Structure 1
Amino acid sequence: MSRRSWWVMFSVLGASAVLLPAAALWLAAQALQPQPIAAPGAPLAISDLNAARRLISREVLSQAFQGEPLTLALTASQAQALTQDMGARVLHAPSSLHLSEQQADLAVSLPIRQTPLRALHPLGDWLNVRVRLSAPPSGAPVLQAVQVGELKVPPALALWAAQRIAEARGLRSMAELGLAAIETVQLSPTQVSATVRWRAELSAQASALLVPPEMIEALSRAHHQLAQQLRPAAAQTPATPLHWHRPLSELLPPLMAAAQQRSLALAFTASAPRLHDEAARDNRAALLVLGLYVNRVSLATLVPAARDWPALPVRPVTLQGREDWAQHYLTSAALATDLGGRLSDLIGMYKELLDASPQGRGSGFSFNDIAADKAGVRLGRIAVQQPQALQARMAEVQADTDLLPDVRDLPEFLTAAQLQQRYGGIDAPAYRAVMQDIDRRIAQTPALR
């Protein structure tokens, strides 16, 4: 290479070293702003959740999974309230939604100090994001425009970035399946409605996505272990099992013990990352098998091969004498292993609020149900984040209170009016105090420390 060529190359490298950081700083300065564009919303009213009841109705969901269309309609105020609540709880950021004819404008203001870009806070305290969606004649909403601060981002680039983020978190395939199920979306200044249909081909894709071959093997091990635990003792008469129930503290530890034995056997040959992944998979399988069982849902709905596995006798499983607490606990735990704890927290809270609604059919808002949900979420998190530690800890479980703290003293069956009168509604100081007490109790529970 000639002297001139070397000189040109070093000049280009030197200019790049100066211009690229300068360009990055300019982009950051354009993206960051001193004030948020979205203001914190008012606390979510229970009435704003009434329309969402259909989303958690077992009868409606059963029909939806058989191919029946499911339509959800929200008023503009309900959609705005849910947007603000989800933004506050999931992103810890204020958000807003504005509806117009076949268009929706969403704004989110992210506090820069709570993001990986916190070092740039001298350039601005807020990362304001504006998104415009339009509703086509059929299918999911279409991304029309994106703006970050003063920067206009091409929709194709924003969509590409969103796909990369979803892929990094293992959510892209599930998100694409959900979008494919949307048949129509209708937007107007006063209402938003969406119709979804879960077609047979989507069920097949979801099953293949949710239950890969290695997970089927783990589910089979957990299923066979549970069948063995549920086998009636020889001394029982045929009539006895009709009233026989099993405490969760008698069923979960043996399943975890079997998973631990497999982990110990793998420890001699598997690398540390593989051992962690295998232990987490076995834990997830145990919680999923038990979660489906307590809710009386056949595993064959997810894994067709399970039809040939041993039949499980129908027996109530209880947690501190309550079958509903076992259902709350295990459902939340199974959800938390795949969907993340914060989403499971939201599902549990919204379910309790709907139960308290005057228009609902639930038994009322129960803080002890919330405690069972939150304890289950913690169990699910530990199951995948510290899988071997949880397997060892389960060997010490002797009673149901080792899995869930005693929460019988917490108020339950509250109507919406009672919840508002006694606690000021969700997120009021009195409500938060009870939630903090629940978190403290859970943190002191032997299996969940």
Structure 2
Amino acid sequence: MSKTLRRATAALLLTGTAAALGLAAALQHEATVPRPADIGPQDLARAAALLRAHDPRRVPPGRLSTMALSGRDLEVLFNHGLHRWPGAAGRVDLQRAAIGVTLSAPVPPNPFGRWLNVTARWVQTERLPRLDSLHVGRLRVPVRLGQWVGLKLIERADLRKEWQLTAEVVLRVRLTPQRLLLAYAWRDDSAQRVLETLLPADEQQRLRAHAEHLSTLVAALAPAREAPLAQLLGPMFELAQQRSAAGGDAAAENRAAIVVLALFANGRDLGSVLPGTQGWPRAQRLRLLLAGRDDFPRHFLVSAVLVVGTSDALAQSIGLKKELADARSGSGFSFNDMAANLAGARFGAMALQAPAELQARVAPGVGDDDLMPAWVDLPQFMPEAEFVRRYGGVGAPRYQAMMAEIERRVGALRLFR
């Protein structure tokens, strides 16, 4: 064996050994963060209040504003951002002039470990926090390398516009054990730039195609004033299937169909929530029905759209928040509404996780029994006092048993088997 070949072989062996040692140090057999934090109704109310207070369309450009985020707020936002990484969970630790973040995410089967655990710490500066330390498993990563990798990940995830906008409007961050204080000032073009980052051009085109298709479908039903949700769902997913077969992203096509239908079921269109779409075709008003009721389509579709745009846990929590509000305001807590919520959440999850399979099942046509589980025997219209007396409140054993039964019924639907 020549000297050059021996050196090359030795270099390969050393590289392979170093890589194996690095993986052994980076991957671990247990998750540092065992499970995502539960998102409760109070978290949703808090998030909604924050969005209203700091909406760039409401805050004058140039005005110095401050947003206060608790550790819980940050943890909810962090875990919401991780929802597209199944099994991942995050934790936030606010400290005096510092903040720690821990991420645990499952990795494909390998000899080194099932979990990627990342721990990072930032310290306060005069303006924005600075990365102070970074560990991947037992491996300490140099800060400069961590910063470089972070920027590359931002580029790879196509988040450069979001990162640039954040860097421009955020003026300084202060860290205490109780909260993160973020001082910012929107610019003249901030509202438009936020909308552009939320809805890229290809997504706008996709939504328009589905909005136009819905308008055509509804026009063909005239002069009817009501129609089963299932009657529209099949043709909408047939379009999603056709566009996917032509090279489109199946999950993205499903998401667009669900968003357009959810807005329509709630008496709205894209123009009411997205500037620049006011000239798109608008479907005539039509009362949608599911299992003979006009409230079930709203529960089903809103939960589905929350899953395709957020997470299953968040969708279930929003459904629960509405039912608790109904219990207090007079219409009462209804487990049959929760059944529609859970069915919609399952539909939304399948739209992302098995998009082509869902298209194949829905496009030929579905019926009410495919979408909504048996619900007639489920308690409904319970005032808060009765709900607490009969089921012990949210999280109590009797409540959990009823929810488990509803989930069993949803799982038994033909569409989800």
Q: TM-score range by the shorter chain?
A: 0.7 to 0.9
2:216·2:283 contact (CA, 8 Å) conserved in 1? Answer: no
Partner of 1:152: 140
Partner of 1:347: 314
More helix by share: 1
2:33·2:90 contact (CA, 8 Å) conserved in 1? Answer: yes
Distance 1:216 1:33, change over 3 A: closer
2:162·2:197 contact (CA, 8 Å) conserved in 1? Answer: no
Residue 133 (structure 1) aligned to one of 115, 122, 134:
122
Distance 1:109 1:187, change over 3 A: same
**Does structure 1 residue 189 correspond to structure 2 residue 177?**
yes
Distance 1:206 1:31, change over 3 A: same
Q: Output the CA distance in 2 between the equivalents of 1:195 and 1:357.
A: 34
Partner of 1:311: 282
Partner of 1:103: 98
Question: Residue by residue, what CA displacement relative to the aligned partner does 1:318-349 show, whole Å, maximum 9, x if unpaired?
Answer: 43355554234223433444x4xxx4212223
2:304·2:315 contact (CA, 8 Å) conserved in 1? Answer: no
Taking structure 1 as the reference length, the TM-score comes to 0.69
**Does structure 1 residue 443 correspond to structure 2 residue 414?**
no
Structure 2 counterpart SS, 1:15: helix
Structure 1 counterpart SS, 2:133: strand
Q: Output the CA distance in 2 between the equivalents of 1:232 and 1:274.
A: 25
Shift of 1:64: 1.3
Question: Residue by residue, what CA displacement relative to the aligned partner does 1:20-79 show, whole Å, maximum 9, x if unpaired?
Answer: 2322333344445687766779x8696xx636513235x954971514388664555x45
Distance 1:429 1:27, change over 3 A: farther
Tell me which amino acid in the other structure corresponds to 1:19. Answer: L
Structure 1 counterpart SS, 2:189: helix
Q: Output the CA distance in 1 between the equivalents of 2:373 and 2:122.
A: 45
Shift of 1:132: 0.9
Paired residues, what number? 408
Structure 1 counterpart SS, 2:2: helix
1:318·1:326 contact (CA, 8 Å) conserved in 2? Answer: yes
Shift of 1:291: 2.0
Question: Residue by residue, what CA displacement relative to the aligned partner does 1:378-418 show, whole Å, maximum 9, x if unpaired?
Answer: 33344455555444433554543322323454456685996
**Does structure 1 residue 10 correspond to structure 2 residue 11?**
no
Q: Output the CA distance in 2 between the equivalents of 1:9 and 1:144.
A: 42
Partner of 1:256: 237
Q: Output the CA distance in 1 between the equivalents of 2:291 and 2:20.
A: 57
Partner of 1:266: none
Structure 2 counterpart SS, 1:230: helix
Shift of 1:186: 3.8
**Does structure 1 residue 228 correspond to structure 2 residue 216?**
yes
Bigger shift: 79-88 or 197-206? 79-88
Shift of 1:179: 4.3
Q: Output the CA distance in 1 between the equivalents of 2:389 and 2:143.
A: 43
Tell me which amino acid in the other structure corresponds to 1:255. Answer: M
Shift of 1:129: 3.1
Q: Output the CA distance in 2 between the equivalents of 1:416 and 1:152.
A: 54
Partner of 1:120: 112
Matches within 5 A, 1:32-431: 50=42, 52-56=44-48, 61=52, 64-68=55-59, 73=68, 75=70, 78=72, 92=87, 96-108=91-103, 114-116=106-108, 118-121=110-113, 128-136=117-125, 141-162=129-150, 170=157, 172=159, 176=163, 179=166, 185-194=173-182, 201-209=189-197, 211-231=199-219, 244-259=225-240, 262=242, 275=246, 277=248, 281-300=252-271, 306-337=277-308, 339=309, 343-352=310-319, 354-355=321-322, 367-383=335-351, 386-387=354-355, 389-397=357-365, 399-410=367-378, 422=391, 426=395
2:271·2:280 contact (CA, 8 Å) conserved in 1? Answer: no
Question: Residue by residue, what CA displacement relative to the aligned partner does 1:342-393 show, whole Å, maximum 9, x if unpaired?
Answer: x4212223324545779x9887876545543443343334445555544443
Shift of 1:80: 8.8
Q: Output the CA distance in 1 between the equivalents of 2:389 and 2:7.
A: 66
Q: Output the CA distance in 1 between the equivalents of 2:180 and 2:31.
A: 25
Distance 1:420 1:26, change over 3 A: farther
1:67·1:200 contact (CA, 8 Å) conserved in 2? Answer: no
Tell me which amino acid in the other structure corresponds to 2:312. Answer: D
2:290·2:368 contact (CA, 8 Å) conserved in 1? Answer: yes
Distance 1:60 1:279, change over 3 A: closer
Q: Output the CA distance in 2 between the equivalents of 1:197 and 1:416.
A: 46
Q: Output the CA distance in 2 between the equivalents of 1:258 and 1:133.
A: 47
Structure 1 counterpart SS, 2:311: helix
Distance 1:420 1:163, change over 3 A: farther
Shift of 1:101: 2.0
Distance 1:161 1:97, change over 3 A: same
- Identify unmatched segments of 5+ residues in structure 2: none
Distance 1:117 1:219, change over 3 A: closer
Distance 1:154 1:420, change over 3 A: farther
1:130·1:147 contact (CA, 8 Å) conserved in 2? Answer: yes
Question: Residue by residue, what CA displacement relative to the aligned partner does 1:137-196 show, whole Å, maximum 9, x if unpaired?
Answer: 556x5433212344321234334445555666x563586378456565442123345567
**Does structure 1 residue 21 correspond to structure 2 residue 2?**
no
User: Percent identical across equivalent pairs?
Assistant: 29
Distance 1:88 1:66, change over 3 A: closer
- Identify unmatched segments of 5+ residues in structure 1: 1-5, 237-243, 264-272
Q: Output the CA distance in 1 between the equivalents of 2:107 and 2:100.
A: 23
Tell me which amino acid in the other structure corresponds to 1:26. Answer: L
1:83·1:96 contact (CA, 8 Å) conserved in 2? Answer: no
Q: Output the CA distance in 1 between the equivalents of 2:8 and 2:389.
A: 65
Tell me which amino acid in the other structure corresponds to 1:291. Answer: A
